[in-house]
Amino acid sequence: MRKGKSTRKGAGCGSRLSGRDSTQRLKTAKGRKNSSARWLQRQLNDPYVAEARRRGYASRAAFKLMDLDDRFGLLARGRRVVDLGAAPGGWSQVAAERVGVGKAGGGRVAAVDVTPMEPPPGVAVVHGDIRDAPIQDAVDDALGGPADVVLSDMAAPATGHAATDHLRIVALAETALEFAVEMLTPGGAFVCKVLQGGTEATLLAQVKQRFADVRHAKPPSSRAESAEVYLVARGFRPTRQRDEKAQRAA
C-alpha cells in the first residue's frame, strides 16, 4: 500500500459526542406509524445526526468511517479510494478529506452507486452496478490506476427476518469482495459491512485467503441497537493469475 501521511481531521470525534442533555420529543405522532415515529424520535436525539449537519456531511455514517480510519489507518494522504454504495456520500466526503483530494500529493476518490447522487467536492461519481465491466473500467479511469482502498457500506433494506437479512448482506459483501479483488493494488485494504454474530464462514475464508490481516470492528458511532459490524481486511495478496491478466492487458 502506498505510503503517506495520514490526516486525522475529526479524529476521535465519534466517541466524544453525546445527546443525553438535549433530549427532544416529537410534538405529535398523530398519523404516523409506530416505526416512523420511533425513527424520527431517534433522529431528533442522535448527536451524530446533529454533528453531521453542522459539519456538512451527507449522513451520520461519515463518523463510522472516521472511527474505522482512526483505528486502522486506512486513508493516508495520496491513496486512491473506491466507495461502493456511496449514496448519499458521507463516506466519500470523509475519504476525500483524509486522502487530500485536490491538494498537492493528494489522492483520488471514486463513489459508485446505482442510485444517483450529488458528487462531493473532488469526488468522481460512477453511476451503475459494480458487477458490470464498463463500471469497473470507469472506476479505473477515475482513479488513474488500481485502488489502494475499497470501501463498502452497502446494505439491503431490512426485512425484519434475521436469516434473510443476513443472506442479503453477505451477498452484497461477496459482490464487494469480488470487485476489490479485481481493483486493489498489492497491499491494499478492503472494508465491508456485515451483521453481528460473525461473518459467513465461506466469505471469511475467502477474505483471509486474499488478505494478510482481517478484523471485525464496530465503530463507536454505530447505533448500539444495530447489528452491523465491519470487516476490515488489510494487506491484499493478488493471485498470480490476476497479475498475469493485468500484464497482458497492459
Residues classed as catalytic: 193
Strand 211-217 versus strand 147-152 pairing type: unpaired
Residue 106 in contact with residue 99, Cβ under 8 Å? yes
User: For residue 165, what are the contacts with CB-CB under 8 A and spacing of at least 6?
Assistant: 156, 158, 159, 195
Residue 127, SS3?
Answer: strand
Residue 63 in contact with residue 221, Cβ under 8 Å? yes
User: For residue 69, what are the contacts with CB-CB under 8 A and spacing of at least 6?
Assistant: 6, 75, 94, 98
User: For residue 36, what are the contacts with CB-CB under 8 A and spacing of at least 6?
Assistant: none
